[in-house]
């Protein structure tokens, strides 16, 4: 059996490991645009800050690629010929496949305006990007935030308001830059948080000295040609939709890339997120998709999960099925714990569903939580700031515990919610 | 009994999938071997296979930097020649389950539970663990029964009025149950003082103490998951005989065990920390201000993990001037008690560092809530020129002298050296 995997991120790597569990002899070829082996992509902010070195970033233990018998090709796949069951890489090489996994992630971040490819513009998608961000911030990696003195030379502008932009803003701030965050949407983390939670996050950023401007679209990036009080010695001038010019040392593009992949389109799949069923199968025989590139069709709805854990889980499910297994992915058990800027955030289950009841903490409190219920059971939760009891809430959703009468107590962090799980006999400290 | 193991196995599987490799857990860990890679730690954490005990690795004894400090990891520090498996085993042996790794994880995974899973697979178990924990819980064999009997005979003499509660068979129904477990043998004298305070408050209570009623949490923290489950089930049965409304304990880990029993077993009681109980009744004591400045050391389980850190502080603010140490609350380091003497030099360094923090904060006294913390810090107090005492000690001092039974002499063992026989905890 010949397995081709497009992408060496968490979905692709875990799919490969799962395939090898079931098929000890099949040939597994992994293609990616990067020359690096599988690394902890979500740890790039910590790498940029110097908390881990390159060796610590590799996500497989030493020798694992060889032990699994994986062949890594540092070149991306660009086209799939379903009639011949052959895929073509960017160098023109052709590779036959019996099973193929599209796991190349969402499209790279982009702002789509003139000047985007200028030298002072940096992305934050890859290991090489992280090294560039560190270099652009200059000396002082790991130092606490300092003021850039208000000069354009000490300022980074970051485009975007999602998780990637917030991570980049956090890195830049910790590395001593003044940060201006230009958010196209009307609130931060609009795809993850409701308005009240976004306001808490906004307060946190501004308290940490980050300037945040909402509803700001970048219309152009110009190269700064002279230094001085209004322009950096070398860097960029960012033009926003309101006609204002913002000089900076560098512009970071932190917009979340759109789902979908030209590779999938080349196979005849529609534009946009690659739709798969719970077995992670596309509608094309032998072709699977997992991770940020796909959306899972479940119960008549097509749901995008996103995040490292979802990618790992989906990759594993896809790998098992590619090798003849029978595994399913349950998006209703979605769990995404992350850090937005430096605030812990947890999203569990159907956290943006309407439900038939919902409770929230006071919007001006130090932390935020929103719980969504349907037919007496918790179906979704959003925690921002204090994530105590996340494990209990997650299990309550998975076990569909009847929590009627406890709805308001569940908002509190000083009540032991473990009693909700009594029938299961479980106990969670955190 | 298998539920503890199953829950832990699930946590490990979730954690391995969710880990993004940022290494924040290892940066916060006070005992992590330098150079240990997350990929290797995760690799060895997976599965059920026995984990061979570690080969010796030179370990620096200086405490790890505070989790909140931003410190670049030098490349040189990463290039350790020790094999990954040995470093992982070393971490598993030396981890005392302080949980500092949990709040720093951006993915919210419970690395302490994952290391506990490793502990449960250590083969052979470190001798220091079993030297510290043997003979606890319900005695199963004739040999164990004889051992417990001999132990009790040897130690009852110094327990004074507490001795009648050691492993007693007859328990009377009462609304209030003081749970001491194996801490009834504590050299701090905390149990006797608690009962004196309860008598002053004219509280009607029952007492549960002795090796046979150990809560099992120390065994749990050592990786003996099945043994811990047995002990908790046994304790749940003993508590049910008293049918209390609340169970009060001076042990931070005991509080965790009681919280679990209250949640999981059908024994409807409320677990209460001794700090909560004292704070609730503080208005009934002849209050006075203690001279000098005090600071508070947060216990891992009651204060940091279960969020009860504010109650002790409310007491201290009423009794004197409270200052915080450089690291407190969620960032407070652990006393290291549950390393069970595997690396005494390392733990002594951590304790000395903590006492130095109290001194640096300008505090003449470091107040603790947990009996284990007091036992851990007291031996080094004199050298650090900081008095270590418990909340119970403070409140006990408020009692009119006629209500205070004659205090037994308090004895703390000197710091343990590598190779010493570790006494059973609380003895």
Find the domain containing B69 and state its range: 3-124
pLDDT tens digits, residue range B249-307? 999 999 999 999 998 887 789 999 999 999 999 999 999 999 999 999 999 999 989 88
Domain-located, residue B359: yes
pLDDT at B68: 37
Query: Based on the domain organization, do B89 and B174 belong to the same domain?
Result: no
Q: Cis check for the bond before A335: say yes or no (omega within 30 of 0).
A: no
What is the per-residue pLDDT across B187-212, written as a single tens digit (0 to 9) for each? Answer: 899 999 999 999 999 999 999 999 99
In terms of domains, do B62 and B135 share one?
no
Q: Which of A157-161, B131-135, B304-308, B309-313 has the lowest mean pLDDT?
A: B131-135
Report pLDDT for A368: 95
Mean pLDDT over B302-330 rounds to 94
Distance CA A366, CA A368 (A): 7
Give the model's pLDDT for residue A232.
54
Residue that terminates a domain, selected from B83, B104, B124: B124
Q: Would residue B420 count as lying in a domain? A: no
Residue B379 and residue B333 share a domain: yes
What is the pLDDT at residue B56? Answer: 56
Say if residue A82 is exposed, middle or buried (CB neighbours under 10 Å; 0-12, 13-18, 19+).
Answer: middle
Q: Are residues B206 and B295 in the same domain?
A: no
Question: In this structure, are B187 and B303 located in the same domain?
Answer: no
Return the pLDDT at B312: 96
Q: Look at residues B234, B259, B256, B233 and name the one whose alpha carbon lies nearest to residue B246.
A: B259
Question: pLDDT category, B332, cuts 50, 70, 90?
Answer: very high
Residues 6+ apart with CB under 8 A from B171: B206, B208, B238, B241, B242
Q: Taking CA atoms, what residue in A is nearest to B25? A: A51
Q: How far apart are CA B421 and CA A202, in angstroms?
A: 56
User: Total structural domains in chain B?
Assistant: 3
| Cα(A34)–Cα(A104) distance, integer angstroms | 11
Residue B425 lies in a domain: no
| Whole-angstrom distance, CA of residue B404 vs CA of residue B391 | 16
Distance of CA B67 to the CA centre of its chain: 21
> Do B7 and A414 count as a contact with CB atoms less than 8 A apart?
no
Residue A226 confidence (pLDDT): 53
Residues A303, A334: Cα–Cα separation, whole Å? 10
Q: Tell me: do B7 and B67 sit in the same domain.
A: yes
Q: Is the pLDDT of residue B229 over 90?
A: yes
Please report, for the domain that includes residue B191, its CATH number: 3.40.50
**Comparing A349 with B236, which gets the higher pLDDT?**
B236
Residue B422 lies in a domain: no
Residue at which a domain ends, from B64, B89, B124: B124
A145 touching B (Cβ < 8 Å): no
Together in a domain, B255 and B388: no
Shared domain check, B86 and B22: yes
The answer to whether residue B426 is domain-embedded is no
Residues of B numbered 25-44 whose beta carbons fall under 8 angstroms of chain A's beta carbons: which are they? 27, 37-40, 42-43
Chain A residues lying within 8 Å of B70, measured CB to CB: 49, 51, 142-144, 174
Q: With beta carbons under 8 A apart, name residues in chain B contacting A50.
A: 72-73
Q: Is the pLDDT of residue B412 over 80?
A: no
Regarding whether B269 and B141 lie in a shared domain, the answer is yes
Which stretches of chain A drop beneath a pLDDT of 50?
Answer: 139-145, 147-148, 228-230
Q: What does the pLDDT read at residue A331?
A: 75
- Are residue B101 and residue B144 in the same domain, yes or no? no
**CA R_g for chain B:** 21
Question: CB distance A46–B23 less than 8 Å?
Answer: yes
- Give residues 69 to 108 of B whose Cβ lies within 8 Å of A: 70-73, 75, 78-79, 84, 99, 102, 106-108
ipTM: 0.87
Residue B183 lies in a domain: yes
Question: How confident is the model at residue B147, as a pLDDT?
Answer: 82
Whether residue B297 sits in one domain with residue B275: no
- Enumerate the residues of chain A whose CB falls inside 8 A of the CB of residue B79: 55
* Rounded-to-integer distance, Cα A8 and Cα B19, Å: 17
Please tell me the predicted confidence (pLDDT) of residue B424.
39
Q: Are the beta carbons of A57 and B20 separated by less than 8 Å?
A: no
Torsion of CA A79, A83, A85, A90, to 10 degrees: -20
Which CATH number covers residue B389?
A: 3.40.50.1860
**Domain stop point among B105, B124, B143:** B124
Tokens of A153: 């030379």
A45 in B contact zone (CB under 8 Å): yes
For chain B, the distance separating the N- and C-terminal CA atoms, rounded to the nearest angstrom, is 28
**Dihedral sign from CA coordinates of B183, B187, B190, B191:** positive
- Which ranges constitute the DSSP H helices of A37-126? 44-48, 54-57, 64-68
Going by pLDDT thresholds of 50, 70 and 90, the confidence category of residue B419 is very low
Kindly state whether residue B411 falls inside one of the protein's structural domains. no
**Do B272 and B344 lie in a common domain?**
no
pLDDT at site A185: 95
Quick one: pLDDT at residue B74? 33
Q: Is A308 on the interface with B (CB under 8 A)?
A: yes
B249: in domain = yes
């Amino acid at each position: 059996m010949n397995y081709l995997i497009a992408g060496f991120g968490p979905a692709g790597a875990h799919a490969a490991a799962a395939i090898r569990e079931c098929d000890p002899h099949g040939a597994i070829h992994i293609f990616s645009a990067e020359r690096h082996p599988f690394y902890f992509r979500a740890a790039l902010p910590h790498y940029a800050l110097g908390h881990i070195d390159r060796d610590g970033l590799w996500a497989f233990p030493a020798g694992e690629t060889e032990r699994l018998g994986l062949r890594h090709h540092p070149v991306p796949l660009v086209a799939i010929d379903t009639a011949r069951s052959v895929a073509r890489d960017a160098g023109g090489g052709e590779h036959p496949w019996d099973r193929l996994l599209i796991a190349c992630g969402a499209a790279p971040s982009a702002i789509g305006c003139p000047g985007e490819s200028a030298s002072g513009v940096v992305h934050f998608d890859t290991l090489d990007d992280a090294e560039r961000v560190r270099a652009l911030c200059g000396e002082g990696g790991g130092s606490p935030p300092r003021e850039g003195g208000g000069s354009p030379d000490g300022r980074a502008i970051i485009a975007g308001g999602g998780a990637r932009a917030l991570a980049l803003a956090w890195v830049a701030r910790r590395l001593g830059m003044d940060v201006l965050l230009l958010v196209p949407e009307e609130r931060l983390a609009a795809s993850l948080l409701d308005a009240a939670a976004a306001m808490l996050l906004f307060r946190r950023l501004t308290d940490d000295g980050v300037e945040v401007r909402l509803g700001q679209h970048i219309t152009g990036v110009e190269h700064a040609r002279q230094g001085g009080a209004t322009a950096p010695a070398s860097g960029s001038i960012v033009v926003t939709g309101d006609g204002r010019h913002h000089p900076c040392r560098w512009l970071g593009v932190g917009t979340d890339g759109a789902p979908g992949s030209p590779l999938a389109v080349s196979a005849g799949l529609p534009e946009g997120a690659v739709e798969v069923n719970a077995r992670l199968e596309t509608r094309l025989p032998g072709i699977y998709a997992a991770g940020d590139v796909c959306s899972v069709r479940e119960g008549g709805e097509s749901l995008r999960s996103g995040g490292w854990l979802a990618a790992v889980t989906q990759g594993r499910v896809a790998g098992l099925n590619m090798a003849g297994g029978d595994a399913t992915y349950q998006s209703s058990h979605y769990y995404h714990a992350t850090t937005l800027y430096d605030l812990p955030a947890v999203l569990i289950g159907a956290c943006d569903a309407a439900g038939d009841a919902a409770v929230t903490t006071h919007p001006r409190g130090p932390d935020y939580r929103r719980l969504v219920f349907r037919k007496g059971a918790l179906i979704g939760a959003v925690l921002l700031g204090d994530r105590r009891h996340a494990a209990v809430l997650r299990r309550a959703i998975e076990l569909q515990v009847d929590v009627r009468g406890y709805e308001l107590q569940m908002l509190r962090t000083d009540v032991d919610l473990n009693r909700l799980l009594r029938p299961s006999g479980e106990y969670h400290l955190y | 009994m298998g539920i503890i193991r199953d829950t832990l196995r699930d946590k490990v599987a979730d954690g391995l999938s969710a880990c993004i490799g940022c290494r924040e857990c290892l940066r916060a860990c006070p005992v992590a071997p330098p150079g240990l890679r997350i990929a290797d730690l995760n690799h060895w954490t997976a599965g059920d296979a026995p984990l061979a005990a570690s080969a010796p690795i030179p370990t620096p004894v200086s405490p790890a930097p505070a989790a909140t400090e931003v410190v670049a990891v030098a490349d040189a520090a990463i290039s350790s020649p020790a094999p990954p498996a040995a470093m992982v085993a070393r971490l598993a042996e030396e981890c005392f389950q302080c949980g500092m790794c949990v709040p720093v994880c951006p993915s919210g995974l419970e690395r302490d539970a994952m290391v506990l899973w490793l502990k449960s697979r250590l083969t052979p178990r470190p001798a220091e663990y079993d030297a510290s924990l043997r003979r606890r819980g319900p005695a199963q064999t004739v040999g164990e029964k004889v051992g417990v009997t001999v132990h009790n005979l040897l130690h009852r003499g110094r327990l004074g009025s507490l001795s009648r509660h050691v492993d007693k068979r007859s328990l009377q129904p009462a609304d209030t149950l003081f749970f001491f477990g194996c801490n009834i043998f504590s050299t701090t004298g905390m149990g006797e003082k608690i009962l004196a305070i309860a008598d002053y408050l004219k509280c009607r209570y029952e007492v549960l103490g002795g090796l046979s009623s150990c809560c099992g949490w120390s065994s749990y923290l050592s990786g003996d998951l099945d043994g811990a489950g047995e002990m908790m089930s046994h304790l749940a049965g003993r508590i049910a005989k008293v049918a209390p409304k609340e169970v009060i304990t001076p042990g931070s880990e005991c509080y965790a065990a009681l919280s679990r029993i209250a949640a999981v077993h059908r024994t409807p009681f409320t677990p209460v920390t001794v700090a909560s109980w004292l704070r609730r009744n503080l208005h009934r004591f002849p209050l006075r201000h203690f001279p000098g400045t005090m600071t508070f050391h947060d216990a891992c389980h009651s204060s940091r993990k279960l969020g009860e850190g504010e109650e002790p502080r409310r007491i201290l603010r009423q009794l004197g001037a409270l200052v915080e140490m450089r690291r407190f609350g969620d960032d407070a380091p652990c006393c290291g008690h549950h390393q069970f003497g595997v690396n005494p030099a390392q733990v002594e360094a951590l304790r000395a560092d903590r006492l130095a923090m109290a001194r640096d904060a300008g505090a003449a006294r470091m107040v603790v809530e947990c009996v284990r913390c007091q036992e851990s810090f007291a031996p080094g107090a004199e050298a650090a020129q900081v008095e270590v005492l418990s909340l119970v000690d403070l409140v006990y001092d408020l009692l009119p002298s006629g209500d205070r039974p004659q205090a037994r002499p308090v004895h703390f063992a000197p710091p343990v050296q590598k190779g010493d026989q570790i006494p059973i905890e609380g003895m």
